[in-house]
Amino acid sequence: MTSSIQNRQVTNTIIMIRPIQFRMNEQTAVNNYYQKNIDNVLNVNEKAQQEFDQFVNTLKEVGIQVIVIADDPKNDTPDSIFPNNWVSFHENGDIGLYPMFAKNRRKERRPEVLDKIEASGFEINNIVDYTTAEDEELFLEGTGSLVLDRTNRKAYCALSPRAHEDLLIEFCEDFEYTPVIFNANQTVNNKRLPIYHTNVMMSIGETFAIICLECIDDKKERKNIISHLKNDAKEIITITEQQVNNFAGNMLQVVGLGDKRYLVMSSAAFNSLSKEQIHKIESHCTILHSELSTIEMLGGGSARCMMAEVFLPKKLG
């Protein structure tokens, strides 16, 4: 691999899992405070499928390569729509498999998903498997827990019940990243509680970073993150905790037709942004958004969570 390939921050290929049994997952709601149990929502899975299909179409229309894989109806996997939590794909042909907090999410790790990726022309050379940590009740939920600056080889991680520091260090040793560790909180019933995934409050693009500094209560940790981002020449675009509640941190930069860059988000996230924030983002890339309200409300995740980026090398011949 050349360094230019190894250091790509964005890709034009993503994996998405079409839901079959989507609903509010009671096992994740214990520490995902963005989930809302709305009793009067009917046809939840059908609505989620409609939002999913429209989202996929929105991505494909601008030339983003989307590999859609159906969930397995044999499994009770209401969160299968969020594949980036259990798998990550890397430039050297390695993939990571991650330990999941919720027991019913562990069934999402299906070999046939990897088979489909290989059948799509990508090469998997090695599997780095962290899943035995589940036996010790230790978790690290993929690029939900990890926000990767692939260019500068830094892994930003807000510690939580789903992101254990020991596993973060192990990942960084295996994949040659520098850990940037901090604590991020949200206000729930007048209490400051850990945000379950780093990628809810932070997103890193090629030339910018979107982050909610309000969520980082410790001033030293906040200054450390700002220092890292500035040293790596990222424009810091700050968002508020209220905007985080509208999933404005849950965004992903991808590549479309003609090598054009897009920042993908939900319509709720887009509508929460100020004109100034939109202007700053659009100085780096084009905004692409889609309506995901049912998925956000019941799943507690948004656009970024639904996309697992593929950085694997293409098979030769």
Confidence (pLDDT) at 22: 76
d(CA 292, CA 281): 21
Residue of 303 and 22 predicted with greater confidence: 303
d(CA 271, CA 120): 35
Indicate if the pLDDT at residue 31 is higher than 90. Answer: no
Question: Out of 3-7, 251-255, 269-273, 288-292, which region has the weakest mean confidence (pLDDT)?
Answer: 3-7
Look up residue 294 and give its DSSP letter: H
Neighbours of 104 (CB within 10 A): 17
Cα-flanking dihedrals φ and ψ of residue 143, to 5°? -85, 15
pLDDT tens readout for residues 236-281: 999 999 999 999 999 999 999 999 999 999 999 999 999 999 999 9
Q: What is the DSSP string of 148-216?
A: EETTTTEEEEE-BTTB-HHHHHHHHHHHT-EEEEE--EEEETTEEEE-S-GGGTEEE-SSEEEE-GGG-
d(CA 200, CA 203): 8
Indicate if the pLDDT at residue 29 is higher than 70. Answer: no
* Type of residue numbered 64: I
Span 27-38, average pLDDT: 50
* Beta bridge pairs of residue 178: 154
- Enter the pTM of the model: 0.93
Residue of 36 and 46 predicted with greater confidence: 46
Q: Is the dihedral of CA 188, 191, 196, 198 positive or negative?
A: positive
Look up residue 75 and give its DSSP letter: S
Q: Is the dihedral of CA 138, 159, 96, 77 positive or negative?
A: positive
Residue of 65 and 28 predicted with greater confidence: 65
Q: Which of 136, 134, 146, 69 is nearest to 105 (CA)?
A: 134
pLDDT tens readout for residues 144-186: 999 999 999 999 999 999 999 999 999 999 999 999 999 999 9
